[in-house]
Chains A and B, each alone.
Chain A
Amino acid sequence: MKRIIIDREKCDGCLNCNIACISAHEEGSNFYTVNLQSPDAETRNFIKFDAQQGYLPIFCRHCDEPECVLSCMSGALEKDQLTGHVQYDETKCAACYMCVMNCSYGVLKPDKQTRTKLIKCDFCDDKPDGPSCVKSCPKKAIEVKEVSR
């Protein structure tokens, strides 16, 4: 499967990946027009800063054994056997957030506005040239690579 491989040494904490993610999920927006102040603006990736370690990119791993999928009681989360990506079906989701509790890496979160859906990386599966965050990283700290399962 393809996974976004992180080289954390390269991350400068610029948060361009955040903007790209928000823009990718705001219909018709681009880097100039994406509304970062919108209540709907949600990023699916996170950069944490640690005084010792520097910037730590936290991105959905689409885990080989995804705890979120195992914990999902509505069938909204499924691991696609072909792509390996953990897919989320908003229409099925019951917003119980067992997945948030079970994601050991703290990647998943409820939506801010309504708490009726999950905010989760979709690998920009609808975009032909792959995850928007990866394209937006000026340092190439995140790159899509094939990993064996």
Chain B
Amino acid sequence: MNSNFSCKTCASADQKLETFISNLSVDTSHHRMEGQSVKCGFGLQGICCRLCSNGPCRITPDGLKGVCGATADTMVARNFLRAVSAGSGCYIHIVENTALMLKKTALSKGVLKGKVALAKLAEIFEIDETDEYICAEKIADLVLADLYKPDYVKMELVEKMAYKPRFDRWKELGILPGGAKSEVFAGVVKTSTNLNSDPVDMYLNCLKLGISTGLYGLTLTNLLNDVMLGEPSIRLAPVGLRVIDTDYINIMITGHQHAMFAYLQDRLIQDDVIEKAKAVGAKGFKLVGCTCVGQDLQLRGEHYKEVFNGHAGNNFTSEAILATGAIDAVLSEFNCTLPGIEPICDEFKIKQICLDEVSKKANAEMKPFVFEEKETQSNEIIDAVIEAYQARRGAVALNMNADHGNDDTLTGVSEGSLKSFLGGTWKPLIDLIVKGEIKGIAGVVGCSSLTAGGHDVLTVNLVKELIAKDILVLSAGCSSGGLENVGLMSPSAASLAGPKLRAVCESLGIPPVLNFGPCLAIGRLELVATELAEAIGVDLPQLPLVLSAPQWLEEQALADGAFGLALGLPLHLGLPPFVTGSPVAVQVFTQDMLSLTGGQLIIDDNAKSAAETLDAIIEKKRQELNI
């Protein structure tokens, strides 16, 4: 057992997964964590600068400034803005592709499954058009036109999308974004060698990137996808390693761009393709969800019951999913596709195909998705996967874990489906909040990481603490992957909630933790928050609503976080985002932000005390609302 490796695996909130991984003979991120356990202190504090050949410079007692004179405050701000710019770029890439896909789908009169979403977007964008294809095209064009504006021309949809009090505040602060792609460019330029040295200016810039990231990369991506792929609807679904069915040819999907699979996922259940699968001894094809694109598919699972087997796990579960031996191919189009899966794919003869040039994997076949060639490409992919299936099945040992996960995770929660569930109005939820049956709402979002106690450890523990305090948790991102696999999104989890929340959940038959799906759906949480604020008639910072990205992992999460702060929400992170070496950064994020946007950063890697802090904030906001 685990004889290949001298190191031990890291802890996971998911005990069954932890055991499964610790017994694997392949190297996973969980194994590598120990070898990387000693961290660079300068990196952790954000006070290492390698922007020029005089460096890398680090802030030490003997070197309080870089060679160029940059202080810790400047270094931290530059590093941070660079990261936020990169993270924003990732999400803007996603929305750009999604809008292009919508436009091409409209032009080619392809399938548009989400009529409600189409109408909603037309209303927001003030498009008066009865032909749904022309309407969709116009929507896509408006989005693309904004994305491609220069940074000195403000994007037009911001005002239409944003809640008015927020928009006004952003305007006052001068942080309304120009063209989203150009803003990424500006962020990169600004942080290059010996340009900007003003930390406050750079943090305001982060907020600007947060707005473009949030409204476009997150919110709009969801809505555009809804038009093409169908709106989410609430249902119970299986999750975990158990969803993998060895009778089928299994394709694991990873990434963030669900629309790229739109054609393929429909194709996989057509008769001729099923026949092909049967010809090699399988019952057909199944998609196995992993990372956010899997979450997105799960969210819309109602429309894909036949081809989709369920969501198996989040980013740091991907290696384990492959190590079952029952996955025949990995189709990836974006992050979070770990490089760590590559040797596992080699060892298990798993075919890897990458659909987006930005995320070419070292040993994978590159097949950039081309809309016009989607039919041919899909057939080629199907043939390649069948070939892999034939070569590997029987030759590769299976290591299934049918016990992992559960069959009753409540999925498909969105701003739309939740409102419908409540009877087409937010009033019941608002009433519950006002009466204190639900004390407040916490959006527990973002990634999964192996830090802060281990895989999903802080996320799961924090959520348990929050629900015990009658705080309803909404989750989006890889955090959902962990929370669902440990059963917190099953109706039975109501028993872990505080007495009031428990009663609410039990009467409605819902869990205390609602699954909004992928990290993109942080945009859906923003919609929920905005609609609640609108219904009550307050600004977002006044709501008894907090955000937490307990196990934020990467640059995209930092851009998401910037959105949260721009929205004026309290944001908890388990570990600091490499800024603690700068007193100015700490001051801006934890104190000054309150007067800028109303937001506030809280850093705490202890689930109990973090929950107490968030609970206190919610209590305070309730008091201020006189409820």
Q: Interface on A for B, CB 8 Å cutoff?
A: 14-16, 18-20, 22-23, 31-34, 36-38, 41-43, 112, 135-138
Contact = CB atoms under 8 A, between A and B. Distances in A.
A121 B581 CA distance: 24
A36 B38 contact: no
A138 B580 contact: no
21 contacts: A14-B40, A15-B41, A15-B60, A16-B40, A16-B41, A19-B42, A20-B41, A23-B41, A31-B44, A32-B575, A32-B580, A34-B41, A36-B59, A37-B64, A37-B583, A43-B60, A43-B61, A135-B38, A137-B38, A138-B39, A138-B40
B47 interface: yes
Contact of B44 (A14, A32, A43): A32
Mostly, the A contact residues are: loop
A42 to B, nearest CB: 7
Given A32-B576, A33-B580, A36-B47, A41 B42 contact: no
Interface centre among B58, B575, B576 (most CB of A within 10 A): B58
A41 B583 CA distance: 15
Interface in B38-87: 38-42, 44-45, 47, 58-61, 64, 72
Contacts of A18: 60
A41 B45 contact: no
B284 to A, nearest CB: 49
Contacts of A23: 41
Interface of B: 38-42, 44-45, 47, 58-61, 64, 72, 575-576, 580-581, 583
Nearest to A14: B40
A36 B61 contact: yes
B45 A36 contact: yes
A34 to B, nearest CB: 7
Contacts of B59: 36-37
Contacts of B583: 37
* Secondary structure dominating the interface of B: loop
A128 B512 CA distance: 42
Contacts of B575: 32
B105 to A, nearest CB: 47
Given A33-B580, A37-B72, A138 B45 contact: no
Nearest to B47: A36
Contacts of A16: 38, 40-41
Nearest to B575: A32
B41 A19 contact: yes
Contact of B41 (A38, A42, A136): A136
Contacts of A138: 38-40
Nearest to A20: B41
Nearest to A19: B41
B47 to A, nearest CB: 7
A20 B60 CA distance: 12
A102 to B, nearest CB: 23
A43 to B, nearest CB: 7
Given A14-B40, A15-B42, A19-B41, A42 B61 contact: yes
Contacts of B61: 22, 36-38, 41-43, 112
Contacts of A19: 41-42
A43 B60 CA distance: 10
A6 B406 CA distance: 52
A26 to B, nearest CB: 11
B23 to A, nearest CB: 27
Contacts of A37: 59, 61, 64, 72, 581, 583
Nearest to B580: A32
A112 B576 CA distance: 30
Contacts of A42: 61
A121 B98 CA distance: 59
A112 B318 CA distance: 51
Contact of A36 (B40, B60, B576): B60
Contacts of B72: 36-37
Contact of B581 (A20, A22, A36, A136): A36
Contacts of B39: 31, 138
Nearest to A22: B61
Given A18-B60, A19-B41, A138-B39, 17 more contacts: A14-B40, A15-B58, A15-B60, A16-B40, A20-B41, A31-B44, A31-B45, A32-B45, A34-B45, A36-B45, A36-B60, A36-B61, A37-B61, A37-B64, A37-B72, A136-B38, A136-B41
A45 to B, nearest CB: 12
Nearest to B576: A32
B573 to A, nearest CB: 11
**Residue from A14, A22, A32, A112 with most neighbouring chain B CB atoms (10 Å):** A32
A29 B39 CA distance: 15
Among B58, B59, B60, B575, residue most surrounded by chain A Cβ atoms (within 10 Å): B60
A34 B41 CA distance: 9
A31 B64 contact: no
Contacts of B41: 15-16, 19-20, 23, 31, 34, 136
B408 to A, nearest CB: 39
Contacts of A34: 41, 45
Contacts of B40: 14, 16, 138
Nearest to B35: A138
Nearest to A46: B62
A23 B45 CA distance: 13
Contacts of B42: 14-15, 19
B63 to A, nearest CB: 9
Contacts of A136: 38, 41
Nearest to A112: B61
Nearest to B64: A37
Report, nearest first, the 5 A-B pairs whose CB atoms are least far apart. Answer: A19-B41, A41-B61, A138-B38, A32-B580, A31-B41
* Centre residue among B38, B40, B44, B72 by max chain A CB count within 10 A: B38
A84 B206 CA distance: 53
B579 to A, nearest CB: 9
Contacts of B38: 16, 135-138
A34 B59 CA distance: 12
A16 B60 CA distance: 11
Contacts of A38: 61
A43 B39 CA distance: 18
Contacts of B576: 32
A15 B47 CA distance: 13
B34 to A, nearest CB: 12
A34 B45 CA distance: 9
Among A22, A34, A36, the one with the most B-chain Cβ atoms within 10 Å of its Cβ is: A36
A106 B364 CA distance: 54
